[in-house]
């Protein structure tokens, strides 16, 4: 049996008929395979590099927002101490430079001088970073539709406010727990339980941030069960990377010898790069969790014929038209996937094509968070031939060279292709 045949038999194997350990091992293998396969095919390493660049541009504006919110909570000294711990051991000059930039941002904002171009630049860097994160996550989930303007404004503002607060809470809760632990040790013997809670609190909050990111950022329905595990794994890996970055960068003396006081910059870029690798791999793993049962069908439909693709499109349009005729709630991508037993990613691609050719139209629920699909044509005039012809004519045909417009053979070919129902030999089509 070849490797391809063995792989195909594994994908078509029914896990319910396997023993407990075999079922667990098979599902784990499938998830890892999907994660690696899509990570390579989606070229997520390029997205990690782009996000590293965007994050570098947004470092000072984001830190300015964090310090501004932290001062409101009284935690600005904690944030500054954490930043100095991360960088002072290797390059105090870089730390002081960053803090000076941040303080300049805050002072100019407070005095009203920071207006015009400065505000636009701040807004651009933050929005650009968030949009690129959404684009990367949508690529993982194979979603082509982005959020509408209203949802972008509300969701992005929520991210801008929520992320700094979570980062502040990550440090503030840890400090409070450490203080509480030292105070309780003076009066009670609490053993190691509370110490474990103190040590694990950063891991818990980091994991929570990744879980919320995987759940809320993609412009599609993501189940909680699909993103909790990857969020926890990403949180643990991020804390391990942060520990290594803080405690072992001083030992990288070769970087210090080459770059001098600027050695913190390439190390920071490496840290950001690996952070985004962890983030995107976790997102891809959440996709694998949700799509593991549909991936075998997705693999088999990668080379599907055009006729079969049109047949599936007709199936989707039929479901949408039936719901519309009955006066019921329009169907979403998720409900269509359930009703037709087709992979969600394939349904998304087909729905996009049907919307582009004008067969279906998109509407939204009352909250504007879910896309719903309705017929774009009167259902009493919407026929099978009309749908197939529109799919067949998708794209543009207005790029013909001038010689084609007056060529009799070209005119005869076009007339035969669109109006003649009889068959003919290919060699008889041109003179």
Together in a domain, 231 and 110: yes
* The most confident of 114-123, 151-160, 366-375, 410-419, by mean pLDDT: 366-375
Which residues, 6 or more positions from 365, have their beta carbon under 8 angstroms from its beta carbon? 372
- With respect to residue 299, please indicate whether it lies within any of the assigned structural domains: no
Question: Is the model's pLDDT at 415 over the cut of 80?
Answer: no
Average pLDDT over the chain reads 75
Q: What is the DSSP letter of 190?
A: -
DSSP 219: S
Q: Which residue has the tokens 């599936």?
A: 312
Give yes or no for residue 419 having a pLDDT over 70.
no
Taking residues 263-276, what's their average pLDDT?
82
The whole-number pLDDT of residue 424 equals: 65
Mean pLDDT of 355-372: 84
User: Do 23 and 43 sit in the same domain of this protein?
Assistant: no
| DSSP code string of 412-425 | HHHHHHHH--S---
Taking only the tens place, the pLDDT of each residue in 179-224 is 555 555 544 545 555 556 656 777 887 888 899 889 988 888 888 9
Check which CATH number belongs to the domain holding 341 and give it.
1.10.10.10
Is the pLDDT score of 50 beyond 80?
yes
If asked whether residues 259 and 174 sit together in one domain, one would say yes
Does the pLDDT of residue 291 top 60, yes or no? yes
Q: What DSSP designation does 145 have?
A: P
- The DSSP 8-state label assigned to residue 221 in this structure reads -
Domains contained in the chain, number:
4
Residues 330 and 181 in one domain: no
Most distant pair of Cα atoms in the chain: their distance: 102
pLDDT at 113: 47
Lowest mean pLDDT among 54-68, 92-106, 414-428: 414-428
DSSP type of residue 359: S
Between 300 and 279, residue with greater pLDDT:
279
Q: Which of 7-16, 104-113, 392-401 has the highest mean pLDDT?
A: 392-401
The parent domain of residue 376 ranges over: 304-392
Q: Is residue 8 part of a domain?
A: yes
Q: Are residues 90 and 25 in the same domain?
A: no
The DSSP letter of residue 425 is -
| 183 plus 250 within the same structural domain | yes
Residues sharing a CB contact under 8 Å with residue 309, sequence separation 6 or more, in sequence order: 350
Q: Are residues 172 and 234 in the same domain?
A: yes
> CA–CA separation, 319 vs 341, rounded Å?
12
Q: Residue 361's beta-bridge partner residues?
A: 374
Say if residue 63's pLDDT is above 60. yes
- Can you tell me the mean pLDDT for 40-62? 86
Phi, psi of 360 (to 5 degrees): -115, 160
Residue 89, pLDDT > 60, answer no
Determine what percent of the chain is predicted with pLDDT higher than 90.
Answer: 19
pTM of the model: 0.69
pLDDT at 166 exceeding the cut of 70: no
Q: Of 291, 319, 346, which closes a domain?
A: 291
- Quick check: is 298 in a domain? no
Q: 158 and 21 share a domain?
A: no
Q: Which stretch of DSSP H or E encloses residue 298?
A: helix 295-300
Q: What is the pLDDT of residue 276?
A: 93
**Beta strand pairing status for 331-332 and 360-364?**
unpaired
């Amino acid at each position: 049996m070849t490797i391809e045949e063995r792989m195909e038999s594994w994908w078509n194997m029914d896990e319910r008929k396997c023993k407990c350990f075999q079922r667990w091992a098979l599902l784990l293998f499938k998830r890892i395979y999907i994660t690696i396969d899509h990570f390579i095919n989606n070229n997520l390493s390029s997205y990690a590099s782009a996000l590293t660049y965007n994050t570098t541009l947004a470092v000072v504006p984001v830190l300015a927002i964090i310090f501004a919110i932290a001062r409101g909570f009284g935690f600005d000294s904690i944030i500054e101490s954490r930043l100095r711990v991360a960088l002072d051991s290797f390059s105090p000059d870089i730390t002081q430079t960053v803090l000076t930039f941040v303080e300049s941002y805050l002072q100019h904002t407070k005095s009203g001088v920071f207006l015009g171009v400065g505000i636009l630049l701040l807004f651009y860097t933050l929005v650009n970073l968030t949009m690129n994160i959404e684009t990367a996550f949508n690529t993982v989930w194979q979603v082509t539709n982005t959020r509408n303007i209203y949802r972008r404004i509300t969701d992005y503002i929520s991210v801008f406010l929520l992320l700094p607060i979570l980062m502040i809470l990550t440090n503030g809760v840890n400090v409070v727990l450490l203080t509480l632990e030292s105070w309780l040790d003076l009066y009670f013997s609490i053993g190691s339980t509370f110490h474990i809670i103190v040590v694990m609190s950063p891991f818990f909050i980091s994991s929570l941030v990744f879980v919320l990111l995987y759940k809320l950022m993609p412009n599609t329905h993501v189940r909680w069960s699909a993103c909790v595990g990857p969020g926890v794994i990403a949180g643990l890996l991020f804390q391990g990377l942060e520990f290594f970055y803080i405690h072992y960068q001083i030992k990288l003396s070769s970087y210090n010898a080459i770059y001098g006081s600027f050695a913190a910059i390439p190390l920071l870029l490496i840290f950001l790069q690996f952070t985004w690798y962890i983030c995107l791999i976790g997102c891809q793993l959440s996709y694998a969790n949700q799509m593991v049962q549909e991936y075998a069908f997705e693999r088999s439909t990668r080379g599907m014929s055009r006729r079969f693709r049109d047949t599936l499109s007709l199936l989707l349009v039929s479901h949408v038209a039936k719901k519309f005729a009955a006066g019921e709630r329009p169907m979403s991508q998720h409900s269509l996937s359930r009703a037709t037993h087709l992979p969600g990613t394939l349904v998304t691609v087909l729905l996009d094509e049907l919307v582009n050719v004008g067969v279906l139209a998109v509407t939204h629920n009352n909250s504007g968070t879910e896309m719903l699909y309705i017929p774009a044509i009167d259902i009493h005039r919407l026929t099978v031939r009309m749908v197939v012809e529109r799919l067949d004519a998708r794209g543009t045909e207005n790029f013909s060279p001038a010689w084609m417009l007056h060529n009799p053979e070209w005119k005869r070919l076009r007339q035969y292709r669109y109006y003649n129902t009889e068959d003919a030999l290919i060699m008889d089509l041109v003179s």
